[in-house]
Amino acid sequence: MKEVGLRPGERIDRLYSNHIQIIQSDEVFAFSLDAVLLAAFADVKRSAKARIVDLCAGNGAVGLFLSQKTHGQITEVEIQARLCDMAHRSVQLNQLEKQIAVVHADLKDSLQYFAKESVDAVTVNPPYFPVQATSKKNPNPYLAIARHELKTNLDEVIATASALLKTGGKLFLVHRPDRLPEILAKLQANRLAPKELQFVQPRADQDANMVLIAARKDGQVAGLKVKPTIVVYDEGEYTPLIQELLYGNR
């Protein structure tokens, strides 16, 4: 691994299952389990010709994790300059400069960097919470933008993904189950046919708090599959699946 400089408040964490190191900061941004699950869920092509775009990339976690599943080119798009800087240094840290590019841009401007309908796969872990007058937002502006639809929204995310994807290309999205009806309607309105759903429950006796969604550009409307639910904890410990995703077979 290459040595890179750290800024105040930053640390280097490792996803042991695939030996990726990533620069994190609780003061600015740190990836959580949803990024790990999204990268594991995403069925991307292995070919070096594959083109993959990660929108709302944050500190680059999803793109870094995906690099272990494909030889294709990955581009991470993030609107916050500080997070782009962290992502870029993490790419350097893992010596992945030839495979991963980091673009500092508003996702709605993505077509300035990619030809329309030219991408094989789009992944996105977007802000989950719509902005409402009564909604309580994180006082930390970095975290507020990551969690609330302050700089983008579901309409924009899905429309951008559709514009980027070629016919037959796939979108992989992680979101909250309470917005699932809205998400499914917007996908279909943007030529994206939902193909797979997988719910994530904190514990077996609790409601799902995440849903993973796969959709295909111009795919057949029929054929939606619901995969087995992922349970995160069992008696206070990570379940075997989560342990394997985080730590590998040790």
Distances (CA, A) of 243 to 27, 89, 109, 221, 237: 26, 27, 38, 35, 9
Specify whether the CB–CB gap between 94 and 163 falls below 8 A.
Answer: no
Inter-helix orientation angle 33-41/240-247, to 10°: 90
Distances (CA, A) of 70 to 53, 93, 201: 13, 19, 28
H or E element: which one contains 245? helix 240-247
pLDDT tens digit string along 131-145?
664 556 566 555 555
Tell me the two tokens of residue 59.
């500190």
pLDDT tens digit string along 107-131?
999 999 999 999 999 999 997 667 6
The separation between the first and the last C-alpha atoms of the chain, rounded to the nearest angstrom, is 21
Q: ∠ CA(62), CA(58), CA(158), 5° rounding?
A: 75
Identify any residues that bridge with 122 across adjacent strands, giving them in sequence order. Answer: 53, 171
Residue with tokens 């709302």: 56
Per-residue pLDDT of the chain (250 residues; tens, 9 = 90+): 577 889 999 999 988 677 899 999 988 888 889 999 999 999 999 999 999 999 999 999 999 999 999 999 999 999 999 999 999 999 999 999 999 999 999 999 999 999 999 999 999 999 766 766 455 656 655 555 556 555 679 999 999 999 999 999 999 999 999 999 999 999 999 999 999 999 999 999 999 999 999 999 999 989 999 999 999 999 999 999 999 999 886 5
Measure the CA–CA gap between 55 and 182, rounded to whole angstroms.
Answer: 19
**Domains along the chain?**
11-247 (3.40.50.150)
- Give the length of the chain: 250
Measure the CA–CA gap between 215 and 170, rounded to whole angstroms.
Answer: 6
